[in-house]
Amino acid sequence: MTRLISLKIEEGELRRVDHSAQTVGVSRNAYINKALRFFNRLYERRLLAKELRRESEQVGQESSAVLREFETFQEEGL
């Protein structure tokens, strides 16, 4: 499904889009759609990487706590 939208774009940017689209041999619409898909995937990957770093830090902290408990058990001879 496609939807029609109105978009304001700076003149210089539009010239760059038109030039790039012509260079690769696609329409302006196809070029902009491809650019949006690329940016959305890039942004989603950055968000995922940020979430994975946060979760990795949490796992690291929990692992350190478990290790300290085991060390306590060993020191107590359990």
In the block, tokens 């478990």 appear at 66
Dihedral of alpha carbons 65, 70, 75, 78, sign: positive
Q: Which two tokens stand for residue 46?
A: 């950055």
Residue 21: predicted pLDDT: 98
Q: Which two tokens stand for residue 42?
A: 């890039």
pLDDT (tens, 9 = 90+) of the chain, 78 residues, equals 999 999 999 999 999 999 999 999 999 999 999 999 999 999 999 999 999 988 888 888 888 877 888 888 787 776
CA–CA dist 33, 17 (Å, integer): 11
Q: Which helix (H) or strand (E) holds 29?
A: helix 28-76
pTM, to two decimals: 0.65
